[in-house]
């Protein structure tokens, strides 16, 4: 019997959703950062085994939106719980259930789908805190399964995968078995560039940046020629991104190129320019140009 279905991963920002997805997939497909709200679109990644196909939906974290981009991120996160077969509610050990997690669980009440409590980052907490957190959540919500894990170290992720498959319905193979993502190669490239910026830049800059491709070509020798704009909202941010004598932009370009070459399996000539677009996160035209399906 072949099983297939859609699985959404939902939780507050920065609880490890993208890290978990990358661990389950065995590949780096989704942007990972120690800063919250790094995932901006629903991304479908496909894991196919001999007897199953799982379509994972990685969502932006649910948070209080401060601009149109934030509203879009929350909207698609909430919509992701519809028409799926399994919901993974991801959280971390804490002294009590916070308002953010309470809000998410209220969104899940009444949804007739199996909801798993996946307690991530157990390697960063004491056994007592893990046990207390598991009890508090199980008292607060009726979960189908409860699994403590470390997504970063891969602890109990095999168990989680088995439980997901056990809860999937019998179904067809939705995608070709060698397909691992439903996003275009170009999208992954822009996300890799954005990730490097998130890792290297100061706190006040990252969520005011976006990356757009200007040119994406492959020459007769098989080398990729890629040009991109990194957008920011303030002139002061432009200076920070470029850095003294271009040092920061050089680092972002270098580390991005290394990852992109691994992705494409070929050498890459990467050029990044920094452009100021004031308040782009609140401009529907800019957001649409960047691929966010936001109505004006």
Confidence of residue 45 (pLDDT cuts 50, 70, 90): confident
- 3 state SS of 233: coil
Q: How many Cβ atoms are within 10 Å of 220's Cβ, its own excluded? A: 5
d(CA 212, CA 124): 36
Q: With 90 as the cut, is the pLDDT of residue 34 above it?
A: no
Tell me the range of 30-44, 51-65, 80-94, 152-166 where mean pLDDT is highest.
Answer: 152-166
- Say which residue, 260 or 186, is predicted with more confidence: 260
Least confident span in 1-10, 103-112, 239-248: 103-112
d(CA 15, CA 146): 16
| The pLDDT of residue 29 | 54
d(CA 185, CA 183): 7
Q: With 60 as the cut, is the pLDDT of residue 105 above it?
A: yes
| The pLDDT of residue 33 | 37
**Per-chain mean pLDDT for the chain:** 81
d(CA 176, CA 212): 29
Contact (Cβ atoms closer than 8 angstroms) between residue 90 and residue 113 = no
The two tokens of residue 182 are 């439903």
Nearest to 160 by CA among 26, 20, 49, 3: 20
CATH of region 185-289: 3.30.300.20
Confidence of residue 131 (pLDDT cuts 50, 70, 90): very high
Q: What is the mean pLDDT of residues 243-266?
A: 91
Confidence of residue 207 (pLDDT cuts 50, 70, 90): low
Q: How many Cβ atoms are within 10 Å of 228's Cβ, its own excluded? A: 22
- Say which residue, 82 or 167, is predicted with more confidence: 167
Classify domain 3-166 at the CATH topology level. Answer: Rossmann fold (3.40.50)
d(CA 117, CA 128): 18
Q: With 60 as the cut, is the pLDDT of residue 293 above it?
A: no
| The pLDDT of residue 153 | 95
Any idea where the domains of the chain sit in the sequence?
3-166, 185-289
């Amino acid at each position: 019997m072949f099983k297939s279905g859609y699985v959404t991963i939902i939780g507050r920002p920065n609880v490890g959703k993208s890290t978990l997805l990358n661990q389950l997939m065995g590949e780096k497909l989704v942007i990972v950062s120690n800063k919250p709200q790094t995932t901006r679109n629903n991304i479908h990644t496909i894991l196919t085994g001999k007897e199953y196909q799982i379509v994972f939906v990685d969502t932006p974290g649910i948070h209080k939106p401060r601009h149109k981009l934030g509203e879009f991120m929350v909207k698609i996160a909430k919509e992701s719980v519809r028409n799926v077969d399994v919901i993974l509610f991801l959280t971390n050990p804490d002294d009590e259930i916070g308002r953010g997690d309470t809000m998410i669980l209220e969104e899940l009440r009444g949804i007739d789908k199996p909801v798993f409590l996946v307690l991530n980052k157990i390697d960063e907490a004491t056994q007592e805190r893990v046990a207390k957190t598991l009890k508090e959540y199980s008292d607060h919500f009726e979960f189908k399964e409860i699994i403590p894990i470390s997504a970063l170290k891969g602890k109990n992720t095999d168990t989680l995968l088995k439980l997901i498959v056990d809860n999937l319905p019998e179904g067809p193979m939705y995608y070709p078995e060698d397909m691992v993502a439903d996003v275009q190669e170009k999208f992954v490239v822009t996300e890799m560039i954005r990730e490097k910026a998130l890792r290297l830049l100061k706190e006040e800059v990252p969520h005011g940046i976006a990356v757009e491709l200007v040119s994406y070509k492959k020459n007769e020798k098989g080398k990729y020629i890629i040009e991109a704009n990194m957008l920011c909202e303030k002139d002061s941010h432009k200076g920070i991104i470029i850095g003294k004598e271009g040092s920061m932009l050089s680092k972002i370009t270098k580390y991005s190129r290394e990852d992109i070459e691994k992705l494409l399996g070929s050498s890459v000539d990467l050029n990044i320019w920094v452009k100021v677009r004031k308040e782009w996160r609140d401009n529907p035209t800019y957001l649409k140009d960047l691929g966010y399906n936001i109505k004006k």
